[in-house]
Amino acid sequence: MNPLILEQETIAYQGSGGVSADNRPFGFRPAFRNTETGRVYLSRFADGRPAPIHMIDGLPDELVVTRSAAGRITSVKDSVQSGFTLNGCFYDRGEAARRVAASSGLNNA
């Protein structure tokens, strides 16, 4: 996982409820899950403040693979998945999109 992958995911899920701007009104918060451990981390800026979008800068050292010369995180383990938390549960981007669609009455199923 790296910033380019996050950007590609954002483009792929734009307008679907699978990005922060679309699901924030429903109470979702951007987060990451380590699929190896199941541990969930809220998205944070490097200084620890909660971030309104997916930022790898605030992830803990045990997930970091590479850093820039300035110390910024440039990639994290492949086991890190972007998604969201809502009411204590983790949703991957697709699950969040489906939940938003259902909550919006846009789901015909």
Instruction: List, for residues 30-78, the tens digit of each pLDDT value.
Output: 999 999 999 999 999 999 999 999 999 999 999 999 999 999 999 999 9
Is residue 109 in a domain?
A: no
Return the pLDDT at 108. 45
Q: Please, are residues 85 and 40 in contact by the beta-carbon 8 Å criterion?
A: yes
Q: Whole-number mean pLDDT of the chain?
A: 94
Is residue 32 in a domain?
A: yes
Full residue range of the structural domain in which residue 58 is found: 3-104
Return the pLDDT at 103. 87
Is residue 89 in a domain?
A: yes
Return the pLDDT at 30. 98
Is residue 52 in a domain?
A: yes
Structural domain count, the chain: 1
Q: DSSP per residue over 49-83, as a string?
A: PBPSS--GGGS-GGGEEEE-TTS-EEEE-TTEEEE
Secondary element (H or E) of residue 85? strand 80-86
pTM of the model: 0.91
